[in-house]
Amino acid sequence: MDSAADISCVGKGFHILFYGETTYLGVTFSDSAQRNLHIVTAATIITDQRTLIPTIVIINQAAYIPDMNQCEPLLHTDQARPYNVIINDLACCYFESYGNPGKQSIEVDGHVFPFDMTE
């Protein structure tokens, strides 16, 4: 999740379900070249490493970056919240106003998915 992203972006690791219109972006690339990109609906599978349960994740209205160097998706938090996705993007080392530590996770239908960026 990236609350600073202007639009969600997906790349390798996602299967494109539908292609839509195009948009003109440049700042998401390592070479900063501006390009026309398709707006897509895309899906991927994530697996919770604690339970080994796979979950299909579908992202709507994302810019598709076909560059093989684009290994990280940027998922805009404001695009997820209207669909009852609870996003806690506060780092675990910080505390919210009630004194609870951040969770760095998303919750959908009672299932919690931690943000675990391992490479």
pLDDT at 16 over 50: yes
Task: Tell me if 106 is assigned to some domain.
Answer: no
Residue 65 corresponds to which tokens in the numbers above? 């970056």
Rounded CA-CA distance 3/80 in Å is 11
Task: Tell me if 99 is assigned to some domain.
Answer: no
pLDDT digits (tens, 9 = 90+) for 17-37: 999 998 887 655 555 667 788
- pLDDT, position 118: 42
Task: Tell me if 118 is assigned to some domain.
Answer: no
- pLDDT, position 28: 55
Task: Tell me if 26 is assigned to some domain.
Answer: yes
| Count of structural domains, the chain | 1
Task: Tell me if 46 is assigned to some domain.
Answer: yes
Domain range for residue 69?
Answer: 8-84
pTM (2 d.p.): 0.69
- pLDDT, position 5: 66
Q: Which of 102, 103, 77, 81 is nearest to 4 (CA)?
A: 77
* Exposure on the CB side of residue 106, measured as CA atoms within 13 A: 20
Task: Tell me if 95 is assigned to some domain.
Answer: no
